[in-house]
Amino acid sequence: MQDKTDIILIDDDTDLRRATRQTLELAGFAVEDHANAQSALGALSAATPAIVVTDIRMPGMDGLELFARIKTIDPDLPVILITGHGDITMAVQAMHDGAYDFIAKPFPADRLAQTVRRAVEKRRLVMENRFLRQAAEESRDDLPLIGQTPAMEHLRQMLRQIADTDVDVLVAGETGSGKEVVATLLHRWSRRKNGNFVALNCGALPETVIESELFGHEAGAFTGAQKKRVGRIEHASGGTLFLDEIESMPVATQVKMLRVLEMREVSPLGTNDVRPVDLRVVAAAKIDLGNPAERGDFREDLYYRLNVVTVSIPPLRERRADIPLLFSHFLARAAERFKREAPSLTSAVHQHLASHSWPGNVRELAHYAERVALGLAEPATPAAATGTIPSDGHASLPERMEQHEAELIRTALIENEGDVRRTIEALQIPRKTFYDKLQRHGINRADYE
Ligand SMILES: Nc1ncnc2c1ncn2[C@@H]1O[C@H](COP(=O)(O)OP(=O)(O)OP(=O)(O)O)[C@@H](O)[C@H]1O
Ligand SMILES: [Mg+2]
């Protein structure tokens, strides 16, 4: 159903349906019509902003049964019944049961338009109230997903839609863009919320540890496995398993994970047990796994298995209108935490907010707000504004260190032909740190292959 539809009209009689539709359209309403109740039901949900006008006598599901079904979907959705000869008693009963109104055939056009207008207005108020209540709840939440740009509204709406389904979700977004926030909300907004939210960072653990973490093991399954251990997958059963930095999952583990996702069962290491798990997997990736060039050794089949639904979080620079809102939220929070008055903002801060490219996204903005709250934010320089550092002799020590770091990373990438694993080994830093630094310095690894 289209968002702007006001009325869903159901009548099996083609001529009558066409005439009624025309009447309603002339009265200024957007109408979607259906020839039977089944098809209309398919277009309806509690999120439907429209009202329903339906004939009572129809083959298959009749208007009264349709009304009963709609009540279970959303009791506040106004249903107007069109009645023929002899249906009046039924229609009156339906009104007792909560139908909005009934109109007896044949009816004058303005009688229909009038009742429809009131019903549409009532629906609008109900939807608005729900929206406000929900917004109030969300801002009370200790984990808000702040943002009013269309991109964020869309994201929130999508999360609401999919949260309570069991589909596996791939969350894609740059560093600090809010992937973990999204994963947590998918859990909290689902009926799994009383189960465990189990997060595993696939990039932070060595290959040898990750499998026993995920699958668990029996005592003695391998050297060092003294005690039996329940794996994170089993621990997440009934709840949500969050696989962070899935792009860093070792290939051998990917194969086993694929099996878990397909079979919904897990075998702890060192056992022949097969245990069923009731799992919802949310995976997060910083790179575009759909792109073979970026995917590298990430298995395509696992990508497709995870990619039932992909939630893409746009980088902050593509939703700049949210920056002031986010910033004031973080500033207030920081001031409270540091027990200080939130400072009034200098033009340098305003300028930085408006011109910086925020490669570290929301996290970088939150850190900046903390520095501002502490009075430590440096005045915005042209360098800070563009995210690059001038290489003249006037750079400060921190700027020169940044520059030097970027240089060392570029050199390591050149020496290792852009190979991630080798470059990370050469630099001796965790994979996550490596990707964060690439982002921060605006280095594109693929350029070095
Ligand atoms: N829309 C938002 N509203 C409020 N806070 C947000 C929002 N997006 C992100 N944050 C905050 O920004 C910080 C970074 O978010 P998060 O940890 O979810 O990012 P991430 O995408 O998982 O980053 P990384 O890729 O580095 O793991 C967190 O403190 C989070 O609470
Ligand atoms: Mg994260």
State residue 375's pLDDT score.
86
Q: Is the pLDDT of residue 171 over 90?
A: yes
Residue 33 has pLDDT above 80, yes or no: yes
Which of residues 401 and 36 earns the better pLDDT score? Answer: 36
Closest C-alpha to 174, from 315, 294, 318, 292: 315
Give residue ranges with CB within 6 A of ligand 1: 144-147, 173, 175-181, 286, 326, 362-363, 366
CA of 176 to the centre of ligand 2 (A): 7
Residue 390 has pLDDT above 50, yes or no: no
pLDDT of residue 221: 74
pLDDT of residue 227: 82
Residue 228 CA to ligand 1 center (angstroms) comes to 35
Closest CA to 421 of 434, 407, 410: 434
From 158, 197, 362, give the residue whose CB has the most ligand 1 atoms within 8 Å, as the site to mutate.
362
More confident call, 136 vs 236: 236
Burial call 286-321: b when 16+ CB within 10 Å, e when fewer? bbebeeeeebeebbeebbebbeebbbebbbbeebee
The pLDDT mean for the chain works out to: 88
Cα 170 to middle of ligand 2, angstroms: 13
Query: What's the pLDDT score for residue 207?
Result: 80
Q: Report pLDDT for 341.
A: 85
**In the predicted structure, residue 378 carries a pLDDT above the cut 80:** no
Return the pLDDT at 394: 57
CA separation, residue 30 to residues 51, 103, 191 (Å): 11, 20, 35
Does 386 score more than 50 pLDDT? no
Q: What's the token pair of residue 206? A: 């060595």
Query: In this prediction, what percent of the chain has a pLDDT beyond 70?
Result: 93
Task: Say yes or no to pLDDT of 4 above 50.
Answer: yes
Spatial contact of 151 and 319, defined as CB atoms under 8 Å apart: yes
Looking at the chain, the whole-number percentage of residues with pLDDT higher than 90 is 57
Q: Enumerate the β-bridge partners of residue 201.
A: 244
CA dist 82 to 40, 58, 90, 155, 262, Å? 16, 11, 11, 38, 49
How many angstroms separate the alpha carbon of residue 97 from the centre of ligand 1?
Answer: 47
pLDDT at 392: 43
Q: What is the pLDDT of residue 138?
A: 61
Q: In angstroms, what CA-CA distances link 132 with 47, 73, 136?
A: 14, 21, 6
Q: Which residue has the tokens 């668990």?
A: 216
Angle of helix 109-140 versus helix 14-26 axis, rounded to 10: 70
- Out of 181, 330, 364, give the residue to mutate to test ligand 1, the one with the largest number of ligand atoms within 8 Å of its CB: 181
Distance of CA 142 to the CA centre of its chain: 17
Stretch 66-95: mean pLDDT, rounded?
90
Nearest CA to ligand 1 atom 16: 178
Q: Which amino acid is at 14?
A: T
- The closest-lying atom of ligand 1 relative to the alpha carbon of residue 184 is 18
CA distance 360 to 416: 25
389 pLDDT higher than 50: no
Round to whole Å and give the CA distance between 347 and 345: 7
pLDDT band at 80 (very low <50, low <70, confident <90, very high): very high
Q: What is the CA radius of gyration of the chain?
A: 29
Q: How far is the CA of 238 from the centre of ligand 1 (A)?
A: 25
Lowest mean per-residue pLDDT among 17-26, 37-46, 115-124? 37-46
Q: What is the pLDDT of residues 107-159, one digit of tens each?
A: 999 999 999 999 999 999 998 888 777 766 665 566 789 998 999 999 999 99
Asked which of 238-247, 298-307, 411-420 is least confident by mean pLDDT, the reply is: 411-420
Q: How far is the CA of 179 from the centre of ligand 2 (A)?
A: 6
pLDDT bucket at 3, cuts 50 / 70 / 90: low
Closest ligand relative to 171 C-alpha:
1
**Does pLDDT of 387 surpass 70?**
no
Residue nearest to atom 9 of ligand 1 (CA): 178
pLDDT, one tens digit per residue, over 352-374 is 999 999 999 999 999 999 999 98
The pLDDT, as a whole number, for residue 339 is: 85
Residue 11 pLDDT > 60, yes or no? yes
CA 178 to ligand 2 centroid distance, Å: 7
Neighbouring residues of 189: CB distance < 8 A, sequence distance ≥ 6: 159, 160, 163, 164
pLDDT range class, residue 82, cuts 50, 70, 90: very high
- Name the residue at shortest CA distance from atom 31 of ligand 1: 181
Question: How high is the pLDDT of residue 79?
Answer: 97
3-state secondary structure the chain: CCCCCCEEEECCCHHHHHHHHHHHHHCCCCEEEECCHHHHHHCCCCCCCCEEEEECCCCCCCHHHHHHHHHHHCCCCCEEEEECCCCHHHHHHHHHCCCCEEEECCCCHHHHHHHHHHHHHHHHHHHHHHHHHHHHHHHHCCCCCCCCCHHHHHHHHHHHHHHCCCCCEEEECCCCCCHHHHHHHHHHCCCCCCCCEEEEECCCCCHHHHHHHHHEECCCCCCCCCCCEECHHHHCCCCEEEEECHHHCCHHHHHHHHHHHHHCEECCECCCCCEECCCEEEEEECCCCCCHHHHCCCCHHHHHHHCCEEEECCCHHHCHHHHHHHHHHHHHHHHHHCCCCCCCCCHHHHHHHHHCCCCCHHHHHHHHHHHHHCCCCCCCCHHHHHCCCCCCCCCCHHHHHHHHHHHHHHHHHHHCCCCHHHHHHHHCCCHHHHHHHHHHHCCCHHHHC
pLDDT tops 70 at residue 330: yes
* Segment 48-64 mean pLDDT: 94
Going by CA atoms, what residue is nearest to atom 10 of ligand 1? 178
Supply the pLDDT for residue 384. 41
Of residues 136 and 298, the one with the higher pLDDT is: 298
Does residue 26 have a pLDDT over 90?
yes
Rounded mean pLDDT, 415-421: 87
Q: What is the mean pLDDT of residues 188-217?
A: 89
Position 403 confidence tier, pLDDT thresholds 50, 70, 90:
confident
Mutate to test the pocket of ligand 1, among 143, 146, 171, 177 (most ligand atoms within 8 A of CB): 177
**Which listed ligand is nearest to 184 at the C-alpha?**
1
Read off the pLDDT band of 381 (50, 70, 90): very low
For residue 315, give the nearest of 324, 323, 304 by alpha carbon.
323
Measured at the CA of 344, the angle between CA 343 and CA 346, to 5 degrees, comes to 115
Contact, 247 vs 262, CB < 8 A?
no
Residue 223: predicted pLDDT? 77
Distance (angstroms) between ligand 2 centre and the Cα of 180 equals 5
Query: What is residue 111's predicted lDDT score, i.e. its pLDDT?
Result: 93
